[in-house]
């Protein structure tokens, strides 16, 4: 009733899609005032600022992907992101790996490919992951020296580097 009176007085429905989109374009944080924004409004918000996903209840996969493409760290605001969303985030910024609990090997390798130093967010990286980090870093062994299980592979890694004539 009251919304109808407001609509009659000002000549538009303040909750229609066009006005929601306009409000989000003016200030992305306006999405927090929109009850149940439709997908188009959600996408407009996260494409402008991925962190705005925090104001969207149960965003679907497309909205999640758009958010992490805009800001990889928005991954930390997504409940149980699937593997595709995780992969997109670490491709944008390997350090977004910090927001993934038990990432699988493919996600770990993508993060390393983007930034070798993201290995710091992998609990007990295996030999393959450590080798990928060394190669990605231009054979800088310091990248993995702080890994808790580095000693398990140290001898093999040093032999590998000797064979590559990287160290003397």
Check if the beta carbon of residue 30 is closer than 8 Å to that of residue 23. yes
Written as one string, the DSSP assignment of 13-28 is -TTSHHHHHHHHHH-G
Tell me the pLDDT tens digit for each residue of 109-119: 999 999 999 99
Tell me the pLDDT tens digit for each residue of 75-95: 999 999 999 999 999 999 999
Q: How is the chain split into domains, by residue range?
A: 2-104, 124-168
C-alpha–C-alpha distance, residues 59 and 118, integer Å: 27
Mean pLDDT for 146-150 is 74
Helix (H, G, I), strand (E, B) or coil at 53: helix
What pLDDT is stored for residue 2 in this prediction? 47
Confidence of residue 3 (pLDDT cuts 50, 70, 90): very low
Check if the beta carbon of residue 82 is closer than 8 Å to that of residue 61. yes
- Tell which residue, 91, 97, 131, has the closest CA to residue 114: 91
């Amino acid at each position: 009733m009251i919304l109808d009176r407001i609509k009659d007085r000002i000549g538009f429905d303040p909750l229609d899609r066009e006005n929601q989109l306009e409000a989000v374009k003016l200030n992305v944080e306006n999405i927090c005032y929109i009850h149940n924004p439709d997908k188009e409004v959600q996408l407009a918000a996260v494409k402008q600022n991925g962190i705005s996903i925090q104001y969207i209840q149960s965003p679907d996969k497309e909205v999640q992907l758009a958010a992490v493409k805009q800001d990889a760290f928005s991954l930390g605001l997504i409940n149980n992101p699937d593997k595709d969303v995780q992969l997109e985030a670490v491709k944008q910024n390997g350090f977004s790996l910090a927001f993934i609990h038990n990432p699988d090997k493919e996600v770990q390798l993508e993060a390393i490919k983007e930034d070798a130093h993201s290995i710091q967010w992998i609990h007990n990286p295996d030999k393959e992951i450590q080798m990928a980090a060394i190669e990605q870093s231009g054979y800088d062994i310091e990248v993995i020296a702080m890994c808790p299980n580095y000693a398990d592979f140290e001898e093999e890694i040093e032999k590998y580097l000797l064979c590559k004539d990287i160290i003397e």
